[in-house]
């Protein structure tokens, strides 16, 4: 079963996919992206991902070449060509190809890349025991709600986490925790779920939205408000949400146990509810 790429309207094996060295994505990180999951052949919350892609592109003045129904057709065909029932779909749209100049040269034809790769099931041991995370200073720009391909600060944070034996780095700015390098963060205190509110300093995660909905449906009280670093450490439970990690319990922050140091009841409830929801794969 092949890994598939779709580059500017042409499907091909991923190994054959090419873009120009003068692509502004390559030279400036001038582009946007999405990553979404396919469960049993069905894209998970495709409409939400396409909506966010549109918002990101609009924020940067990059015209998206396709309407939503065309994206859906391209993704369905790429997934079907790959033959992977459980897959991750990466979408990248850059401003286009032009001789290097910081100022974009008039209207350009955006470069579109879609790739489909198999998604290995997550390590059950990690989810049973809970993950280690570390905190890092947030050195990112002030428009983190845009899903830009410029991810250097996230890359460095993730690398730092890995070197410290952790799976995720949580960004701290002005004494508050905002999100992870590739995930949103939620804490539970006295059975109340608290997560930082949407705004320019964090990505409005699709999984975040799904999980907040599941929590409300399950009767868990939800508050979207700033979370201080002290509140993070003193939480009864901490967990992460994201397309690749789904709902991942955190056992330790900077080596210090959260609660009992194992996944708590609210986290376990939401892990179970998320597993049910992804079975339905609603759009
Ligand atoms: N990243 N915050 C950041 C900074 C992210 O990069 C991501 C996801 C999330 C979670 O968003 P969602 O639930 O929509 O996946 C939050 C993807 C997985 C990535 O960059 O690969």
- The closest residue, in CA terms, to atom 9 on ligand 1 is 183
Task: Read off φ and ψ for residue 81, nearest 5 degrees.
Answer: -65, -35
Domain limits, the chain: 4-118, 124-280
Active site residue 217: no
Q: What is the pLDDT along the chain (283 residues), one digit of tens a residue?
A: 689 999 999 999 999 999 999 999 999 999 999 999 999 999 999 999 999 999 999 999 999 999 999 999 999 999 999 999 999 999 999 999 999 999 998 889 999 999 999 998 789 999 999 999 999 999 999 999 999 999 999 999 999 999 999 999 999 999 999 999 999 999 999 999 999 999 999 999 999 999 999 999 999 999 999 999 999 999 999 999 999 999 999 999 999 999 999 999 999 999 999 999 998 544 4
Instruction: Compute, in angstroms, the gap from residue 1 CA to the centroid of ligand 1.
Output: 27
Per-residue pLDDT at 1:
62
- pTM exceeding 0.75: yes
Choose one of 91, 180, 243, 244 to mutate for the ligand 1 pocket test, by most ligand atoms within 8 angstroms of C-beta: 243
CA 243–ligand 1 middle distance (angstroms): 6
Contact 40, 152 (CB under 8 A): no
Into which CATH architecture does domain 124-280 fall? Alpha-Beta Barrel (3.20)
Which helix (DSSP H) or strand (DSSP E) does residue 114 occupy?
strand 111-118
Q: How is residue 159 annotated by DSSP?
A: H
Alpha carbon of 142 to ligand 1 centroid (Å): 16
Q: Which residues contact 201 (CB under 8 A, 6 or more apart)?
A: 138, 142, 144, 145, 173, 178
Between CA 178 and CA 134 the distance in angstroms is: 13
Considering only the top CATH level, what class is 4-118?
alpha beta
Q: Output the ligand 1 site: residues, CB below 6 A.
A: 35, 154, 179, 182-184, 203, 205-208, 241-244
For 215-263, write each residue's pLDDT tens digit: 999 999 999 999 999 999 999 999 999 999 999 999 999 999 999 999 9
Could you give phi then psi for residue 61, rounded to 5 degrees?
Answer: 70, 30
């Amino acid at each position: 079963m092949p890994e598939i790429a779709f580059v500017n309207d042409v499907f091909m094996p991923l190994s054959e996919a090419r873009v120009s060295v003068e692509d502004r994505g390559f030279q400036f990180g001038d582009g946007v992206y999405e990553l979404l999951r396919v469960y049993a052949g069905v894209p998970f919350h495709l409409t939400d991902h396409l909506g966010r892609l549109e918002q990101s592109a609009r924020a940067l003045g990059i015209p998206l070449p396709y309407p939503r129904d065309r994206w859906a057709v391209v993704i369905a065909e790429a997934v079907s060509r790959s033959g992977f029932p459980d897959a991750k779909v990466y979408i990248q749209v850059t401003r286009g190809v032009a001789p290097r100049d910081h100022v974009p040269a008039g209207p350009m034809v955006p470069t579109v890349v879609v790739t489909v790769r198999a998604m290995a099931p997550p390590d059950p041991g990690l989810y049973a025991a809970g993950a280690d995370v570390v905190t890092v200073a947030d050195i990112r720009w002030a428009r983190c709600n845009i899903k830009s391909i410029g991810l250097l600060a996230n890359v460095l944070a993730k690398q730092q986490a890995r070197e410290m034996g952790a799976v995720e780095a949580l960004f701290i700015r002005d004494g508050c925790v905002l999100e992870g390098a590739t995930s949103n963060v939620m804490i539970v205190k006295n059975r109340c779920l608290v997560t930082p509110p949407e705004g320019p300093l964090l990505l409005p995660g699709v999984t975040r939205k799904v999980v907040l909905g599941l929590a409300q449906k399950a009767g868990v009280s939800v508050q979207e408000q700033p979370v201080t670093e002290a509140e993070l450490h003193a939480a009864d439970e901490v967990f992460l949400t994201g397309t690749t990690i789904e709902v991942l319990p955190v056992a330790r922050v900077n080596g210090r146990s959260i609660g009992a140091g194992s996944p708590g009841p609210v986290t376990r409830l939401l892990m179970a509810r998320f597993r049910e929801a992804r079975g339905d794969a609603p759009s």
